[in-house]
Amino acid sequence: MRKYVRIIYGISVTLAFLMLLLFHFHEKTDSVVMRTDDSYEIVNDYEFSTYDDETAPIGVVQEYKWVLGNIPKHDACVTFYLIHQEVEVYIGDELIYSLKRPTEHNFSKTTGCLWPQIFLYEEDAGKEIRILVRPIYQSSLRNHLTIYLGDHSVILDTLVERNIPILVISLFAVLVGLAFLIFIFYNIKNVEIDRSIFMLGIFSILTGLWKISDMEAATLIFHDSLVMSAISIIAISLALVPYMYFIQRQFQHSNRFIWDLLCIIISVITIGLTLLQLFGIADLRETLTICHGTAIFGIIFILLTLMKEARQGNFSPKLKLTAVCCALCMIGAIVDLTIYYTSGNSGNMLFCLVAFLFYVIAMGYVTLKETKQLMDRGQKATHYQNLAMHDELTGLFNRAHYADFISKNNVLQSDCFVIMMDVNNLKLCNDTRGHDCGDHLLINSANLIRQAFPSGVCHRIGGDEFCILLCNSSAEECQNCLNHFEHLTAEFNAAHPEEFPVNIAYGYASHIVNIDFDFNDTVRRADRMMYQVKLSMKTQGRGI
């Protein structure tokens, strides 16, 4: 089931990204500036009227007009914030600015949200200026203009500065999300990592992108009104699924099938709304109520699940934090939605963003803290496992590892060689130089074995006995390793005359089907060869 959620959600993300690309490269508003650029107030003394016009998108035109006073010599302009509205600006009888819906393509019906800038000339003083606004949606009727008149750069600086708090908080949310993703990718191989924080990171990034693209100054900074308008709604639609994936991990008795089904339904709705936009049937703005309704439904479902967990006595500290933060997010969402549906402007909605950011940081901190504890436990477990499988003195694998390796690997094959080794004169070393010197002899022997058999699995299986398993090897490679071992041993003894000399007898064998019943028979053949070599070395006075 979860596989299908990922597929469908992936389709929704892909379609959304495709739509944004189409908007950026193909969907252009019909904007005509008749004047170009050759000190700051809000205009309040205009006359406002509304009249019907069948050629307008919803049959209504809103008109703002007043007489211009003295015009500064440089950088004088009129600007206002359009929220899904067409506009024509006249000075006297001259049309100096026009903004209309896209005409070259049919992906969108809207102009988006933007700040048109109408530059004024000194000779415009005393002339009447008329702004004809044609709302594109019924919801745009309540978007009355706030008209700024004055120095162009001062107005722009004021508008951008007004949005700095939202921009800073939104960017911080994006950076927090990216930090979570980097943390997961950096520790991708660690099984102790709580990977649900990856979903929290995606949620945080989408939340930040929603507000960055939705703030009033977005088009002043990024210039593409259609893409900015689409990102804000797409981000809301895509954010719910990763959030539900994250929150589902917090519940002990949640029905995973129901959560997956809800995520599929939400993703299908997002796909449907995106397709309606791409085929020019309905803009995302027209279906925004569906997005809001879906998000509210998801939050209500989460709250009901929280109440169920509380009744069952499974309210962990993390779930308590989730409940508090969800309540804060709900309050923020209610306040912001109230502002939106009464004013029609979502650009300054800040309560929900602050609540979301607080929630993301708090949950991220708690999750990372739990993850660190799990990682510490995992490191301790790995340490203890290493101790259980390694010889404390030499650092090689021990007999327990040897038995585990034999049971888990296919050693009954002709290309797996077993090499048995026995350290000569260990008892003599212990008796004449002490046990510390005997330990040092074993350590030196282990180091030489490790160097000579870099691809082998080397074990100390007894007091002075070692076993090397060479898997996926050949008789020639095995012999080369043994020759290298003898060469290293001779070099070591010559270079360290003060050390007790290393003399090791060895024997080797590979599994032969017609001779060996099991791998133990192969080991016994290698053992017999080793003892024959040891006997030969003894007659030469080299071993005991």
Angle at 331 between CA 325 and CA 336, to 5 degrees: 125
Judge if 49 and 155 occupy the same domain. yes
89 and 233 together in one domain = no
Residues 156 and 173 in one domain: no
Task: Provide the residue type at 519 as one letter.
Answer: F
Domain boundary (137, 160, 183) is at: 160
Residue keyed to tokens 């819906």 = 101
Phi/psi for 543 (5° steps) reads: -155, 160
Does 384 reside within a domain? no
Q: Which two tokens stand for residue 352?
A: 């929900």
Is 544 among the domain residues? no
Q: What total number of domains does the chain contain?
A: 3
- Assigned domain for 357 exists: yes
Query: What's the rounded Cα separation, in Å, for the pair 34 and 78?
Result: 14
The pLDDT, as a whole number, for residue 192 is 62
Distance CA 507, CA 456 (A): 15
Domain with 279 in it: what CATH number? 1.20.1070
Structural domain harbouring 471: 399-539
Residue 392 placed within a domain = no
> Residue type at 83?
I
Domain match, 245 and 337 both: yes
Domain CATH code at residue 93: 2.60.120
| 275/367 same-domain check | yes
Q: 422 vs 183, 224, 435, 488, 538, CA distance in Å?
A: 48, 78, 17, 16, 13
Q: Do 138 and 99 share a structural domain?
A: yes
Instruction: Please report the pLDDT score of residue 137 as a whole number.
Output: 86
Is 51 in the same domain as 195?
A: no
Q: Provide the token pair at 415.
A: 């290309």
Do the beta carbons of residue 148 and residue 43 sit within 8 Å?
Answer: yes
Say how far apart CA 544 and CA 394 lie, in whole Å.
22
State the pLDDT at residue 240: 86
R_g of the chain, CA atoms, integer Å: 38
pLDDT in tens, 36-58: 444 678 888 899 999 998 888 88
The domain boundary residue, chosen from 160, 181, 202: 160
Same structural domain, 238 and 327 = yes
190 and 106 within one domain: no
Pair (457, 362) in one structural domain: no
Helix, strand and coil content of the chain, in percent to the nearest 5, comes to 55, 15, 30
19 with 40, same domain: the answer is no
Considering the domain boundaries, does residue 105 fall inside one? yes
Residue at a domain's end among 141, 160, 179: 160
- Residue ranges for the chain with pLDDT beneath 50: 36-38, 347
Classify residue 194 as exposed, middle or buried by CB count within 10 Å of its CB (0-12, 13-18, 19+): middle
pLDDT value of residue 73: 63
Asked if the structure places residue 314 within a domain, the reply is: yes
53: left (phi over 0), alpha (psi -120 to 50) or beta: beta
* 304 and 185 fall within a common domain: yes
* 527 belongs to a structural domain: yes
In a domain, 385, yes or no: no
Q: What is the CATH number of the domain that holds 441?
A: 3.30.70.270
